[in-house]
Structure 1
Amino acid sequence: MSDPPAGDDDAPPAVRPVLAQVGQVLGTVVAPATLVSALLFYFGYVSARAQLAYFGVDVDTLGYSTQDFVMRSPQPLLVPTLVLLLATAGLVAADTRARRWAAAAGDARVRPWVRALTVLGAVLLATALALLVAYPSLREWAPYALVTPALLGTGALLLARAAVWSPTSPTPRATVVLLALVVVASVFWATATLAQWSGTGQGKALARDLTALPAVVVDTRESLLPGDPTVEESVLPVADPTAPVEYRFRYRGLRLLAENDGRLFLVPERWSPAGSTYVLGPDDVRVRFRFVDDPP
């Protein structure tokens, strides 16, 4: 009777325990649902922080909740997630074919490939470590935050794969598990970098057309001293000079950037180097939202 065709269950004995060990470690450290929630929160936070920082606002001052950041995460995560899923599918398919070939080729033909993977992985890992050491000198290099985790994760992945394939010198499982965790950490780093770039890009895109934000007319008791040609200030008439101070100034040309707990974060409706973000509390202002200038 002929042997059944090789499949995923016919992997070398060293492969299944190692992969099982990796899954066991990751499952012990954090539950899948918790991991997904943490990812959504973290990447939503990074993206929102970068977007609002473009307007000079620290996202922590808005007091957003975890749910607010989770709701902001799909856009920065969409492209990286699709790329990661496609890359993972390709790697799994390539790994399956490689394991079948290694099982049929024999140790003599596998050893050169193992040595090549080991050398290449070591070179990439060493390059990534050199970049980490040189961070003080390379911090202004824009691609640094993406190139470094890419080299680090790829190098660790190749070394882990070579360790599993090695027919003569078995590598301790702990080493393979640690290399796998380095790959996971590198993916986190790279995706966080993409989320930051996405947030900054969203901020710049919004600044090119701030009229997309809701238009507001603001009345205040004290002058905002806008110092921006886009913001129009007018003085309201005083009905009774003996009455308590009422709303005295009116401002047009402002747009609502964000709101939380009654605080309004307003920006001029046209970007300029002299522009500022105004933070107004609910007790300081009277606000009207303008209709969109688009007749029905």
Structure 2
Amino acid sequence: MTSPAPGRIERFLEAGKTAIPPLTLLSAVLFYFGYVSARARFEYFGVDVDTIGLGTQEYIMRSPQPLLTPLLVFAAAGAGSVAVHTVVRKRIRTTSMRRLGRVAQGIGLGTLTAGLLLLFGYAFLGDWRLYGLVTPLLIAAGTTLVRYGSAIRRRLRPPAHRGAVVLGYLVIAVSVFWMTATVAQWSGRGAAMSDAARLGKLPSVILDTKESLFLRSPGIEETKLPPSEGQTFHYRYRRLRLLIHGKDRMFLVPDRWSASDATLIVPLDGSVRVQFQFQNDRP
């Protein structure tokens, strides 16, 4: 007996495997989550991450932090699923398992419906803080339960169409991707708030400029340098901290958080003079 010819969805997925090498796909995924986390992190300080000038490798290097928690959760969920599946396989032919399949499908349909209602209610619920996590979680969990309940019942009847199976897995994959992106955004925001609570731990910077900057952030000390022959820098600023170093500029913040603080962008083009202070900790 010959196997049926693959459908359009299967042919599309096979073509995607050929066109996108696994390493390229992995790099793209790591870059995306690193970018989402970095964007949320520096947005807290009023900085658009695109103005920093970070490269692809730098975003990839930032991806493990936001991905660590989702990976641990998915690994634990996978281990639990394997244990449950092992028990179910031993009793797959019994009447109780058929009933379990129907119950799983019913719960899955209800969960999936709730997720879809949230999805289509974005205009009214989009500002809910947990929206980006709860909605894909309900869709992924509901689809998984529907597919698994169907898989249990299929043991006693002809298998379903492969296209429906592939679409189910696609919905789960997209939902997991959405959840992970939300966690990455939260991770970046949390890292920013942690930085803001410990600004004194960032590198201390002394900044000399040719003219007054008229900074409005409280706590920054401005000193007028004494005039001397050949002196081009006339103002000195202390109590600044290095938030991040971009391609050709530095982003400086005050050493103590205030609601009226601002991030100072300093170009490294000779118009300023920068000194990094030692830590006040005698060796």
Say whether the fold is shared (TM-score over 0.5). Answer: yes
Change over 3 Å in CA distance of 1:32–1:85 after alignment to 2: farther
Aligned-partner residue type, residue 276 of structure 1: A
Q: TM-score, normalised by structure 1?
A: 0.85
Asked if residue 212 in structure 1 is aligned to residue 198 in structure 2, the reply is no
Q: Paired residues, what number?
A: 270
Helix, strand or coil at the partner of 2:215: coil
Cα displacement (A) at 1:212: 0.8
Out of 68, 74, 93, the residue aligned to residue 84 of structure 1 is 74
Q: 1:102 & 1:34 partners in 2: Cα distance?
A: 40
Cα displacement (A) at 1:49: 0.9
Q: 2:40 & 2:101 partners in 1: Cα distance?
A: 42
Helix, strand or coil at the partner of 1:102: coil
Cα displacement (A) at 1:238: 2.2
Aligned equivalent of 1:259: 245
Q: 2:19 & 2:127 partners in 1: Cα distance?
A: 35
TM-superposition CA deviations, 1:21-78 (whole Å, max 9, x none) = 79x7584574432332222211111111111111001111111111101111111111
Aligned-partner residue type, residue 60 of structure 1: D
Aligned-partner residue type, residue 134 of structure 2: V
Structure 2 runs not aligned, ≥5 long: 1-5
Equivalent residues of 1:163, 1:176 under 8 A apart = no
Q: CA RMSD in A?
A: 2.1
Identity in percent = 46
Cα displacement (A) at 1:174: 0.5
Helix, strand or coil at the partner of 1:270: coil
Equivalent residues of 2:92, 2:98 under 8 A apart = no
TM-superposition CA deviations, 1:244-277 (whole Å, max 9, x none) = x821111001001111223010000001011000
Cα displacement (A) at 1:163: 2.5
Aligned equivalent of 2:148: 161
Asked if residue 186 in structure 1 is aligned to residue 172 in structure 2, the reply is no
Asked if residue 125 in structure 1 is aligned to residue 115 in structure 2, the reply is no
Out of 203, 214, 223, the residue aligned to residue 234 of structure 1 is 223
Structure 1 runs not aligned, ≥5 long: 1-16
Asked if residue 150 in structure 1 is aligned to residue 137 in structure 2, the reply is yes
Change over 3 Å in CA distance of 1:30–1:155 after alignment to 2: farther
TM-superposition CA deviations, 1:132-182 (whole Å, max 9, x none) = 111111122111111111100011111111232223363211111111111
Out of 50, 54, 76, the residue aligned to residue 60 of structure 1 is 50
Change over 3 Å in CA distance of 1:31–1:161 after alignment to 2: farther
Aligned equivalent of 2:62: 72
Q: 1:258 & 1:165 partners in 2: Cα distance?
A: 53
Q: 2:96 & 2:220 partners in 1: Cα distance?
A: 74
Asked if residue 281 in structure 1 is aligned to residue 267 in structure 2, the reply is yes
**Which deviates further from its counterpart, 29-38 or 221-230?**
29-38
Helix, strand or coil at the partner of 2:92: helix
Aligned-partner residue type, residue 97 of structure 2: V
Cα displacement (A) at 1:121: 1.1
